[in-house]
Chains A and B, each alone.
Chain A
Amino acid sequence: MLVFGSALMSFAQEAPLVSGGVGFVTSTTGGSTTYIPVAEPLAAVPLGQHLLVESRASLLEFFTPGSRGYNHSHFIALTYLQGDILASPHLTIVGGSYLLPFGTYNERLTPIWIGNYQDEPLMEPLGLMSGGAGLGGQLRGSLVSHPRYAIDYAAWFSARSSNSQFQANRSSGFRGSLYFPEQRLEVGASYGRRLEGTHENFAGAHLWWETKDAGLRFRSEVARGQHAYGYWLEVDSRPFARGNLESLAGRFEPVFRMQQTFRIDNLASDGLPSVNTQRADFGFDYDLPHNTRILTSYSRQFSAAGNSNIWETGIVYRFLFPAWKGRL
């Protein structure tokens, strides 16, 4: 009876959900401002006890200044659509279109309701095989989970696809991470290999650390390809982690990101700037009530192609609710 009750309770907690974020962001460079309304809905549907189907889409409209007023264009695409089979406590089999587990940014920080900045780091394309998504299979899970340390892994193989919604390069790779809960320290390494066209190896490493009260957070990545390499590091402070949400000033989140990319040669188009580039991003985010964030930042970019200032602002609302009405 107890087991039946627990199973019923568990089933009752696993209604399909709809989540995601909607926002309005602006980016100003050289006096030209681009306006971008954006929506990123996410759906997760559990099927039975061991299967989860999840997907995220991206819908953007770009309003860019032209010679005669503003031009606009739009972009609609599935970010990923994957099925997760919970095969064992240490193994999850992922199939479909998935985010490539190279480094940390692509999987963890790309949702607009999570990232501290609107734009991704300059070096982010390294290791992501052009699109950031793979089409095929992935094995991942928790290898070891001990109170003092935890090890997790992810390994993928992706086929080539030119389908407009599921574009992917033939590639394979893996990522391993070691996490020390007491020190709040995570270190990890990634490797990826493009298996079509000019085969290319990518290697990367990441280091995340935060103070025990989670008030200060440090995140960083470095990656290297055969034609370019780079790094980014980000420090942000979360006063609300110290119990300061009641204070208006306590809702501010100062953020700083430093990033550099270095060009080895221009033999391949890997998405990184064609010349060595350095950029410092100074941000101030603000957490409004009801899952709403304001993001603002100023960036100064230096490169042989010209220096520039980039001002960005945005407001993002995050939603999360069951896919349909019901009672527990």
Chain B
Amino acid sequence: MNLKSVACCLALGSAMAIIAPRLAAKNPAPQDPAAQRVTRQTAPPQSQDGEEEGQRVFEQNCARCHNAPEGFSPRITGTIVRHMRVRASLSRHDEEVLLHYFNP
């Protein structure tokens, strides 16, 4: 495969990744609904600031690699956060915010 073929593959792949979601996206929303599901199923309403910061920490540290699981027991939120602290090298502050986000 020469340079031209590589360039073609890159262009085709990039076009596919960029154009397809635009065709699919009819109702853009600012927040990740997957993350919202986690909140709904594990947590009662909390202050907007706390929720926004919790969502920010979640998106920047967890959702960069994987989708949010569709709900989980509040009994394991501390274990999840401890696992993420190690895997994603969370700071103490982000760890606390994330725990509060899951279980205010």
Contact = CB atoms under 8 A, between A and B. Distances in A.
A256 B65 CA distance: 16
Contacts of A260: 6
A288 B17 CA distance: 20
A196 to B, nearest CB: 27
B47 interface: no
A206 interface: no
B78 A242 contact: no
B10 A237 contact: no
B45 interface: no
A217 B44 CA distance: 31
Given A54-B83, A256-B13, A258-B9, A15 B20 contact: no
A214 B91 contact: no
Given A13-B99, A44-B79, A244-B27, A237 B64 contact: no
Interface residues of A, number: 83
A227 interface: no
A321 B76 contact: yes
Interface string B18-56: 101101111111111110000000000000000000001
Contacts of B91: 89, 142, 145, 150
Nearest to A92: B86
B4 interface: no
Contact of B78 (A13, A300, A326): A13
Contacts of B31: 243
Interface in A148-169: 150, 152-154
Contact of A256 (B17, B59, B76, B79): B17
B59 to A, nearest CB: 6
A52 B83 contact: yes
Interface stretch (A31-39, A69-77, A106-114): A106-114
Contacts of B72: 320-321
Interface string A1-39: 000000001111111110000000000000000000000
A89 B17 contact: no
A117 to B, nearest CB: 13
A136 B85 CA distance: 20
Nearest to B14: A235
A258 B10 contact: yes
Pick from B14, B17, B34, B59 the residue with the most CB of A within 10 Å: B17
A108 B16 CA distance: 24
Interface string B65-104: 1110110111111111011011101111110000100010
A52 B97 CA distance: 19
Contacts of A140: 86, 89
Contact of A52 (B10, B70, B86): B86
A16 to B, nearest CB: 7
A237 B20 contact: yes
A109 B65 CA distance: 7
B21 A237 contact: yes
A59 to B, nearest CB: 21
A158 B29 CA distance: 46
A263 interface: no
A254 B18 CA distance: 9
Contact of A242 (B25, B63, B103): B25
A328 B43 CA distance: 13
14 contacts: A17-B76, A45-B79, A52-B82, A141-B89, A184-B64, A213-B30, A242-B28, A244-B27, A245-B33, A278-B5, A280-B9, A282-B13, A320-B72, A322-B73
Shortest Cβ-Cβ A-B pairs, 10 listed: A243-B29, A256-B13, A145-B91, A13-B78, A152-B89, A14-B78, A89-B92, A302-B1, A280-B9, A237-B21
Interface of A: 9-17, 44-46, 52, 54, 84, 86, 89, 92, 94, 107-109, 111, 113-114, 140-142, 145, 150, 152-154, 177, 179, 181, 184, 186, 208, 210, 213-217, 235-247, 249-250, 252, 254-258, 260, 278, 280, 282, 287, 289-291, 300, 302, 318, 320-322, 326-328
